[in-house]
Structure 1
Amino acid sequence: MMSINKGKGIAEGSSIPAGVGVGVDAVGGGDKQNPPPLSRYESQKRRDWNTFGRYLRSRRPPVGFSQFNADHVLEFLGYLDQFGKTKVHLQGCVFFGQPEPQGPCTCPLRQAWGSLDSLIGRLRAAYEENGGLPETNPFASCAIRIYLREVRDSQAKARGIPCKKKKRRRRNPLKTNEVSSSFTIQQP
């Protein structure tokens, strides 16, 4: 029995080869058990991975999955900005630094930092699930972390939201008052 969705499995990254129908089992004659539907996260991760793959193939010359690096990822993130929905006020804009501007302006729409951060997390996981080594994962590179930090800080500044760094609590190893005195040692 042929599937109606011939070729769709490979295009969507399915493990079912094209042309193999999910229907009557040749041996038992009953219905094959359908795999459980993907979670929202897994579906989004697959879509993101496929979108990134299409982006690499659309470059001139096309870039293979074994050839891309952090620079290609940064270019992809820049490419996505054209589809953004977050208004990011420029330095010279009268609304720069105002959390709730009173009127419209010509500042560009960009991808929100949170969306980019989530996207990179999903692509990082997809890279490793598709055979990439964690130590060579371009989505986990220092350049990507710096880029995301700069986007977060610039978007917060443009909206007038102060960026507060988390301060590390340092433990002083020379402090002696941290020793618990809940027990006593009795001398014989």
Structure 2
Amino acid sequence: MSSIKGKDPAEGSSSRSRRQDPHPPAAPLNRYELQKRRDWNTFCQFLKNQRPPVAMARCNSSHVLDFLRYLDQFGKTKVHSQGCAFFGQPQPPGPCTCPLKQAWGSLDALIGRLRAAYEENNGSPETNPFASGAIRMHLREVRESQAKARGVPYKKKKKKKKNVQIKDLTDPSSS
């Protein structure tokens, strides 16, 4: 036991240990926040590796499209080309030489995280390159081409209408 009563030996006697830390430990990040940070760092590294390097202030939708095309080389989704014998078949009977690409859902989620990260890193929503029409169009084209290649048409889920009954405030008997 310590010779100083009431103190933990690891705490010591410095006055700093008694003061409140101005930067308390941050709460641990959840999976989404960790992935968003990794995605942001990967995109920033991609911009630095461009020749010449691109500053975030100069980043536009063409840089984002280049990044998405770059990521295709790490994809795991088989996307059959139109000349492939298995084009349009949901369950191809054998292997083919068609490329692996990033799945549309993965790209869509990535763009959502990067869009949020851009604004969290002091980017203006008006200049957000991840929110541009060119990116939305690219994602739509990827979704449609992958659906055709698999022979599974993409159908947007329709939102269910809520049956909400609103009381007639003018009718005293409805209260």
TM over 0.5: yes
Q: Distance in 1 between matches of 2:17 and 2:76?
A: 52
The partner residue of 1:75 within 66, 75, 100 is 66
Does residue 16 of structure 2 align to residue 27 of structure 1? Answer: yes
Q: Distance in 1 between matches of 2:106 and 2:155?
A: 20
The partner residue of 1:158 within 125, 145, 149 is 149
Q: Distance in 2 between matches of 1:26 and 1:100?
A: 69
AA matched with 1:96: F
**How far is the alpha carbon of 1:167 from its aligned partner?**
7.4
**1:126-175 Cα distance to aligned partner (Å, 9 max, x none):** 0000001111111000000000000000000000001335679xxxxxxx
Show structure 2 runs of 5+ residues with no match.
1-11, 160-169
Q: Distance in 2 between matches of 1:137 and 1:115?
A: 20
Does residue 108 of structure 2 align to residue 142 of structure 1? Answer: no
Which residue of structure 2 lines up, in the alignment, with residue 132 of structure 1? 123
Which residue of structure 2 lines up, in the alignment, with residue 105 of structure 1? 96
Q: Distance in 2 between matches of 1:54 and 1:107?
A: 29
**How far is the alpha carbon of 1:56 from its aligned partner?**
0.2
Residues 49 and 101 of structure 1, relative CA distance in 2, 3 Å threshold: same
**How far is the alpha carbon of 1:35 from its aligned partner?**
2.0
Which residue of structure 2 lines up, in the alignment, with residue 40 of structure 1? 31
Indicate the percent of aligned positions where both proteins have the same amino acid.
Answer: 68
Which residue of structure 2 lines up, in the alignment, with residue 11 of structure 1? none
2:25 alignment partner, SS class = coil
TM-score calculated relative to the size of structure 2: 0.78
1:119 alignment partner, SS class = helix
Quick one: higher RCO (CA 8 Å, sep 6+), 1 or 2?
A: 2
2:86 alignment partner, SS class = coil
Which residue of structure 2 lines up, in the alignment, with residue 5 of structure 1? none
Moved more, 47-56 or 29-38: 29-38
Q: Distance in 2 between matches of 1:29 and 1:79?
A: 52
Q: After superposition, where does 1:9-20 map in structure 2 within 5 Å?
A: none
Q: Tell me how many residue pairs correspond in the alignment.
A: 151
Which residue of structure 2 lines up, in the alignment, with residue 91 of structure 1? 82
Q: Distance in 2 between matches of 1:165 and 1:53?
A: 33
Show structure 1 runs of 5+ residues with no match.
1-23, 169-182
Q: Distance in 1 between matches of 2:77 and 2:138?
A: 17
Does residue 64 of structure 2 align to residue 57 of structure 1? Answer: no
